Amino acid sequence: MAKEPKDFSYFQGKIVPSKEANVNVQTNALQYGTAVFGGIRGYYNKDLENVFIFRISDHYKRLTNSAKMLQLGFDKSVEELTEITLNLVRECGYLENIYIRPFVYVSSYALSPKLHDLETDFAIYILKLDDYIDTKRGLTTLISSWRRIDDNIIPAISKASGGYLNSALAKSEALQAGCDEAIFLDSRGFVAEGSAENIFMVRDGNIITPPISASILEGITRKSIIELARGLGFTVIERDILRTELYVSDEVFFSGTGAQVAWVKEIDNRKIGNGNIGPITKTLQDIFFNIVKNKEEKFKHWLTPVY
């Protein structure tokens, strides 16, 4: 039997047992969400006895950019961050699917909600994670009554912790209404994204997804799906989407590090397509799962082996 991995985190510049990675109650980020975070997956391939981290450089580029947007003091390079992460996963000894959560937070006890010239810390914890939302059955969804945060309110593209109150409102609303997930409209009323995933629809064989100007996070899975689909000869269009177009689309699916590629069966009580996974979604989902497990030669450059 595989050995149980050790529960370590990276905290205040070193690897420590997770139970010792605690912040003080006065921490500024705890009051105001003054932090930015990432979410990275590592996939275990049993045959190769290795864990492959998906697009780690892209994730750390985004984290660095998020910190820059919010003026959080953070000077680690992508290479340094990658090295810290690999060392942590190795030290824990994971041989399963994992989710890596790095974040930069205002560790200062400053009372005021501000961002610049405050002490920050960089931390990482790791969880075992298979599906975050079901990828096998179709998801039921609703259009949230909460609008996606606008770039001039809290930049959705920054993956700012405080902005996730917006996601939490929508997710709770969806779950409490008996649905699996919420779909946000942006402040203009166009489709934006899910609470923690980007959205795609298929109409007449074309794959369509909202542009980054629709207050979405620039998803790394989204970018991967676009590249992948275009490589397979599909037309992928980034344009504004009406909620009613979703209702009459042939297929709808989510993409995200947590969500991976998850298909939508229902939106606001309307069945999408014939209520089964659509052929284009199925094709992309199958290839995506092969890629992340290092079974697609052409996409090996998206993966970083841990061991």
- What letter would DSSP give residue 213? G
* Whether 61 is catalytic: no
- Are the C-beta atoms of 254 and 199 separated by less than 8 Å? yes
Q: Which of 33, 219, 273, 278 binds ligand PMP (CB under 6 A)?
A: 219
Q: How many residues bind ligand PMP (CB under 6 A)?
A: 15
Q: Which of 220, 272, 287, 291 binds ligand PMP (CB under 6 A)?
A: 220
Q: Which long-range contacts (CB under 8 A, 24 or more apart) does 26-29 make?
A: 26/109, 27/105, 27/106, 27/107, 27/108, 27/109, 28/106, 28/107, 28/108, 28/109, 28/110, 28/111, 28/113, 28/118, 29/105, 29/106, 29/107, 29/161
- Are the C-beta atoms of 56 and 302 separated by less than 8 Å? no
Q: Which is nearer to ligand PMP, 114 or 223 (CB)?
A: 223
Which of 6, 128, 136, 159 does the annotation list as catalytic? Answer: 159
Q: Which is nearer to ligand PMP, 196 or 292 (CB)?
A: 196
Site string for ligand PMP, 182-201 (x = CB under 6 A): -----------x--xxx---
Q: Which of 143, 182, 217, 292 binds ligand PMP (CB under 6 A)?
A: 217
Site for ligand PMP in 136-175 (CB under 6 A): 167
Q: Is 102 exposed, middle or buried (0-12, 13-18, 19+ CB in 10 A)?
A: buried
Site for ligand PMP in 250-289 (CB under 6 A): 255-258
Residues that bind ligand PMP (CB under 6 A): 39, 167, 193, 196-198, 217, 219-222, 255-258
Catalytic residue annotation: 159
